[in-house]
Amino acid sequence: MIRNLFVEYRGKGSGNERWSFNGVIRLERDYFVFARLAGIGGDVKDALVPPRGFPNDAAGAARDENFTCIDYAGKAINSSNCSPEDAARWVATGKSHYDGTLSKMALPISRKGEAEAELVDIRKPARVSNPDWHTHSWLSTDEFEKAIEKTARPIPPTYQATIAAMRSLEASGFEVRCVFWFDN
């Protein structure tokens, strides 16, 4: 299933950072479409455009959803963070990669019985990609629409809505793309 799809837009030729319009779109499972989008469930040669990977300039919302923070302080590990050991294991197996660097971190210390924090220089990876997500890519509106149209069956409503949103943003003068990836 496409775990996450984000429609991103920016002013044409602005050089500005990309933005996401308020969140994630979850698309229906359709392996024929997935093969056309990124070769999922088929051969990568079936993809309209071979997977491009996660874009370096992705919007904050897509980046935040795609990466998990590494918790060096040993607080409660949950779905939004992971231990440094888990991150290292995921990267070592090739299922993940690091993103960003923490240069300083507040670590708890105790002075004269009072809890305080000390800013420590750590220079360690800040985040890691989710090991269960794969085949990251992005497509322009035309590419996304062509991949969907070639299915020769009715286009599911969420795909239609995604194309309509992308076309509407283009009509307003924006450069538009969708960023997506799949889960296991």
Q: How far apart are CA 134 and CA 184, in angstroms?
A: 8
- For the cut 60, the answer to whether the pLDDT of residue 1 exceeds it is no
Please report how the helices 31-38 and 141-149 are oriented relative to each other, as an axis angle in degrees rounded to 10. Answer: 140
pLDDT for position 6: 92
- For the cut 70, the answer to whether the pLDDT of residue 67 exceeds it is yes
DSSP secondary structure string, 16-55?
PPPEESSS-B-PPP-HHHHHHHH-TTS-GGGSSS----S-
CB 139 within 8 Å of CB 120: no
Q: Which residues contact 156 (CB under 8 A, 6 or more apart)?
A: 27, 28, 30
Q: Which residues form the domain of 59?
A: 2-183
Q: How far apart are CA 56 and CA 54, in angstroms?
A: 6
pLDDT digits (tens, 9 = 90+) for 153-172: 777 888 889 999 999 999 99
Higher pLDDT, 102 or 111: 102
Q: What is the dihedral of CA 104, 76, 86, 178, to 10 degrees?
A: -80
pLDDT digits (tens, 9 = 90+) for 113-126: 666 766 666 788 88
CB 119 within 8 Å of CB 106: yes
Higher pLDDT, 11 or 176: 176
Q: What is the pTM of this model?
A: 0.79
Domain total in the chain: 1
Task: Determine the residue type at 151.
Answer: T
